[in-house]
Structure 1
Amino acid sequence: MKRLIIKTAFTFFLVTMAGKSWAQSGSFKAKNPYYSRTVTTPLKVSNAEWKKILKPELYQVAREGATETAFTGKYDEFDEKGTYFCAVCGNPLFISTSKFATTCGWPSFYQPLTRNSVKYRKDTSYNMVRSEVLCGRCDSHLGHVFDDGPKPTGKRFCMNSVCLDFVPNSKKK
């Protein structure tokens, strides 16, 4: 119950602060010439350009490396079958069969869709040493990977929901 109250309050805050246009999911994609679920060619786009295109909350996490608050993301306790794409560029990242339940507060996967779906970078922020996970196409920050996941990989790709777009199997073409 507490999670539901927190999620509801956070959603209300974001919608109130950002206005109606933010709440209309998908509307920004029409304005994003770099978004494609089929093109996988690496992108080199400046943060200044991304800032003009992306919603503020997505820009803050994906391009500035912020982290969404635990238990507030739309995919934290989400269990539909389909594919997760980068919300910035449309790159295919994960499939639902590699998603697993955790209590960490973010959606977690044990492996990316392909070896080139993601990239890694050493992250020493907050007096920790972690492996940051970046989109393999646009270099956007997605989250971090840890060595405490389930078999077969033993990895936990802990991702920010705001950086993910989900397409159910029934809608994929």
Structure 2
Amino acid sequence: MRRGGRVCAVAVPSLLLLLPLCVFGPCFAAVVASRHLFSTSRRSQMTHCASRAEADGSKDVGDTAWRKRLTPAQFYVLREKGTDPRFGPYDSYSAPGDYLCAACGTRLYTSEMKFLCDCGWPAFWDCVPGAVREAPDSDGIRTEILCNACNSHLGHVFRGEGFHNPPPNERHCVNNTSLHFQPRQ
């Protein structure tokens, strides 16, 4: 660019240095903060999820029996760790009641724990104490959540996303297929 007979250099290299921060900064910062702030010892003090040591699995009947009890779509999500399409029936559902595991009927969440986050899947800020267990996901970044009673895949838990949820500031992102809603009487 010319200005007064001189060529002015635009600070493109400086802007390029900011590009990774703009693109990856928030995500990277969230991952680093999540790994640092929510280590296993601190996590157990803040969440109602069961630890690996508290794993139950007493209602897990094995894949052969699950194939007979579940629909193909349920088996895919609950037993093969599949993911539902976005915006299913429970995403914006707000009736008072309880959300049960679609496989074994264990009470996992209440309608008071649910919030609308516009991610396309039902979101809960916490779980019924001991009903949900965490496990590291195979991608090494996310944390899977499972029904603690039958080991069925529910979805993933995310922390510190800024939704201003009450402590423990979690977002349980749950597949619609993993849930059965029981209205409150």
Instruction: Give 1:66 shift.
Output: 0.3
Q: Which of the pair has more CA radius of gyration? A: 2
Matched, 1:60 2:76: yes
Indicate conservation of the 8 Å contact 2:57/2:151, yes or no.
no
Matched, 1:118 2:132: yes
Structure 2 partner of 1:28: none
User: What is the letter of the counterpart of residue 119 of structure 2?
Assistant: C
In structure 1, distance between residues paired with 2:57 and 2:144: 21
Aligned length: 127
Structure 1 partner of 2:33: none
Instruction: Please state whether the residue corresponding to 1:84 is helix, strand or coil.
Output: strand
Instruction: Give 1:41 shift.
Output: 7.5
Structure 2 partner of 1:130: 142
Instruction: Give 1:74 shift.
Output: 1.1
Match of 1:146 among 155, 158, 177: 158
Match of 1:85 among 94, 100, 104: 100
Instruction: Give 1:152 shift.
Output: 2.3
Instruction: Give 1:59 shift.
Output: 0.4
TM-score, normalising length: structure 1: 0.70
Structure 1 partner of 2:21: none
In structure 1, distance between residues paired with 2:182 and 2:82: 24
Instruction: Give 1:46 shift.
Output: 1.3
Structure 2 partner of 1:155: 170
Instruction: Give 1:151 shift.
Output: 2.0
The runs of 5 or more residues in structure 1 that have no matched partner are 1-39
Cα deviation digits, residues 72-130 of structure 1 (max 9, x gap)? x210010001100000000010000010011110000011011x1011110023xx511
The runs of 5 or more residues in structure 2 that have no matched partner are 1-55
Please list every run of at least 4 consecutive aligned residues from structure 1 whose deviation after the TM superposition is greater than 4 angstroms: none
TM-score, normalising length: structure 2: 0.65
